[in-house]
Structure 1
Amino acid sequence: MKRIIKWLFITVGILILSVVIIGTAFINISPQFGGSANKDQQLSYAETGHYQDGIFINDEEIIMEYNCHSITAMLKETMNPDPNVAPHQNIDVLKMDPQSIGTLPDSLPRITWLGHSSFLIEIDGKKGLIDPVFGQYAAPHPWLGRARFNKEMPITIDDLSNIDFVIISHDHYDHLDYESIDELKEKVNHFYVPLGVGNHLRRWEISDDKISEMDWWQEAKYKDLKIVLTPSRHMSGRGLSDQSATLWGSWVIQSQNTNIYFSGDGGYGKHFKEIGEKYGPFDVGLMECGQYNELWRDVHMMPEESVTAAQDIQAKLIVPIHWGSFALATHSWTDPVERIVKAAKKENMPIATPKIGQSILIDGELKTDYTHWWESKRYAMMR
């Protein structure tokens, strides 16, 4: 018996050691985890005023308690998520005709929701992508994440022709996907990213002259478009040792006649009013409303706060994002959109809820006659 127990411990020890070795090798070798800043870059980050002790910090403090109670609560929720955390069946998307992209007059901007926080934007004769994630998993490996709710995307990367610009809000996997960027990189003229994120792109063999790394409130020009990185209240990181090593943010995209705000991820804060005062009003606010939890509400808004934030930035129309594709929290997959629609109605705030692959024309008229497509019985949980 002693010999059996001895060999059992040895076997378990070997298995644990093997997992550690394989995991360490994966983190160090896989391009998924991107690049890191050198000493000179870190010194330049320190001059921003929101970089201390090797990490970026928020203007407003975030509180995320890691104690026995909170960890126990998080584990309990993770093990017992809402039974409707994902739709019962695959979500059907609206397929896009690649030939139709770029065919509208320059004076008729169009935004198309690709699911979660990904968008195709056609504005002033230019085509851009925001947080383009075309993969099936928002994780460095399929074993580490739940599959996307829709097995097909509205359009494939192969079907996309030249893209003028790509905008990235931060380096979390549901916003910056290595495989998608690797497939896109030869088609993209320029990438706009927060400070530090450029190191990921450079490791992925994107030339430095195609990358603009930006700080909060910094403005850039792409031809006659103004592109601005504005603050958000969040964090970053792709591995175990690079938490908040890169900056995060929200974005403003302005043409002569159109003004678009993209919230990225983040908790509610004073920055929304500052953004509205400086760059508003906005024709549309693409507002995060999902993957929340009371334990981390400082870094992800509740849906009701998303409506308040849209009012703060002076948005004429809300489009809910960060829902409908991935289960990254434990709430029902429809809870975010149900709550934000209810809150918007209460505040008399126009809101559009497109299907994945559906477009919104920004032509001066507020179009809010989108169906509550998520209420379809085919997506309901079997009982």
Structure 2
Amino acid sequence: MIIALILLVAVLVSTYFLFNAYYPSFGGEVNKERQTKYATSAQFDNGKFVNIHRVNMNKGFSETLAMARKFFFEKVENGRPKHDLAVQKIDSSNIADYASPTRFVWFGHSSFLIQMNHKNILLDPMFGEVPAPLPFLGGKRFSAELPIEIRKLPKIDAVIISHDHYDHLDYESISLLKDKVGTFYTPLGVGVHLETWGVLKENIVEMDWWQETTFDDLQFVCTPARHFSGRKFSNGQSTLWSSWVIKSATENIFFSGDSGYDSHFKAIGDKYGPFDFAMMECGQYNKMWPDIHMFPEETAQAGMDLKAKRIMPIHWGAFKLALHPWTDPVQRVTKKAKELNLPIITPQIGNAFLLQDQNIDNQDWWR
């Protein structure tokens, strides 16, 4: 009996380590060679990436268990839409043949297609059904369809990724996209996942905060965020997280990625603002993790700090990753933006809108 128990434990332990090492969705591991390279970064300290103002991500077992219990078992009124959300569809020829002013298509959550200066750019292309390494660990997307399926997308010139969490970096989406993408732009370390999934190293550009690069006639800037990283228990904070500035000769755009509210928004606004348009994290917040996700009122204030002429709330409308009603983010940020006299847009998922449009359809579609 003792021998049988020992064998069972050995099998379970071996299975865990094999799963941990080889399950593809987990991505890659930052090795010592990469860590040595990242040691020159001001954000890298003692083998981990850190925020400007430190955030304690080392939750104890009891805290983690309490959070998990709340998330999986606490009923949230209106936590999900009662029916699948309708999305506006867009076809591949519409995208491939487009050659007009800067245009955006929101896929829900933080995923966008930007068509700018005759280029197709994807932001955080998470097109999967569940934002988790295993389907049973997360709830399904609020919409049964996407504005366009990955396989129907034309050539993508650039993909910009904010960090390596499952709701922003999806293994299946990258696997389907990689052969039609020119260049991937990521914060430090995130390229290790892409390489593990078959993206050529020469097609990946990793950047530190405040680093700038040119992409033909566009400028990309990797800017700070207040968040964390990791795709499994053993590799937390091994890769960097960021926001992004996307700039042409005539237009200036900001993408927040995931971030708690902090002084970096003002610093970015002072250095690179004002912004014509800012896509701002607004969803999946809770008083248990106030440092890593903004409350809607903070989202509006961050837009002011950035000197944004207009903001759009993102990180909502696709997944339930917190304990608030699914419409709470958009309702609260709209109210606060109105108080601050900050223009805000809330287009429906799939609605292709132009940056220069003054009258974007702001109907309360979520109602």
Q: Give the deviation of 1:85 after TM superposition.
A: 1.1
Name the residue aligned to 2:177.
Answer: 184
Name the residue aligned to 1:381.
Answer: none
| 1:100 aligns to 2:85 (yes or no) | no
- Structure 1 residues 69, 26: CA separation in 2 closer, same or farther (over 3 Å shift)? closer
Name the residue aligned to 2:29.
Answer: 36
The 3-state SS of whatever aligns with 1:220 is strand
- Decide which moves more: 265-274 or 88-97: 88-97
| 1:151 aligns to 2:114 (yes or no) | no
Separation in 2 of the partners of 1:233 and 1:87?
29
Letter in 2 for 1:131: D
Contact between 2:353 and 2:360, CA under 8 Å: does it hold in 1? Answer: no
Letter in 2 for 1:99: S
Letter in 2 for 1:122: Q
Q: Give the deviation of 1:77 after TM superposition.
A: 2.8
Within-5 A mapping of 1:298-377? 298-363=291-356, 365-375=357-367
Name the residue aligned to 1:5.
Answer: none
Name the residue aligned to 1:56.
Answer: 49
| 1:82 aligns to 2:79 (yes or no) | no
- Structure 1 residues 22, 87: CA separation in 2 closer, same or farther (over 3 Å shift)? farther
Q: Give the deviation of 1:314 after TM superposition.
A: 0.9
Separation in 2 of the partners of 1:19 and 1:152?
38
The 3-state SS of whatever aligns with 1:374 is coil
The 3-state SS of whatever aligns with 1:209 is helix
Q: Give the deviation of 1:342 after TM superposition.
A: 1.0
Within-5 A mapping of 1:204-243? 204-243=197-236
- Structure 1 residues 71, 38: CA separation in 2 closer, same or farther (over 3 Å shift)? closer
- Structure 1 residues 343, 19: CA separation in 2 closer, same or farther (over 3 Å shift)? farther
1:164 is aligned, of 157, 163, 177, to 157
- Structure 1 residues 53, 255: CA separation in 2 closer, same or farther (over 3 Å shift)? same
TM-score, with structure 2 as normaliser: 0.94
- Structure 1 residues 282, 182: CA separation in 2 closer, same or farther (over 3 Å shift)? same
Identity among equivalent positions (%) equals 49
Larger Rg: 1
Separation in 1 of the partners of 2:293 and 2:7?
40
Separation in 1 of the partners of 2:12 and 2:296?
39
The alignment of Structure 1 onto Structure 2 pairs a total of residues equal to 366
1:116 is aligned, of 109, 112, 130, to 109
Separation in 2 of the partners of 1:250 and 1:369?
26
Contact between 2:347 and 2:360, CA under 8 Å: does it hold in 1? Answer: no
Contact between 1:220 and 1:227, CA under 8 Å: does it hold in 2? Answer: yes
Separation in 2 of the partners of 1:326 and 1:20?
32
Letter in 1 for 2:160: I
- Decide which moves more: 71-80 or 61-70: 61-70
Q: Give the deviation of 1:70 after TM superposition.
A: 4.8
Separation in 2 of the partners of 1:14 and 1:92?
52
1:45 is aligned, of 20, 25, 38, to 38
**Unaligned runs of at least 5 residues, structure 2:** none
The 3-state SS of whatever aligns with 2:246 is strand
- Decide which moves more: 350-359 or 166-175: 350-359
Cα deviation, 1:102-137, whole Å, max 9, x if unaligned, reads 44444x100110111000000011001000011101
Kindly report the root-mean-square deviation, in angstroms, between the aligned alpha carbons of the 2 structures: 2.2
2:272 is aligned, of 273, 279, 288, to 279
Contact between 1:102 and 1:126, CA under 8 Å: does it hold in 2? Answer: no
- Structure 1 residues 84, 22: CA separation in 2 closer, same or farther (over 3 Å shift)? farther
The 3-state SS of whatever aligns with 2:132 is coil
Separation in 2 of the partners of 1:367 and 1:23?
54
TM-score, with structure 1 as normaliser: 0.90
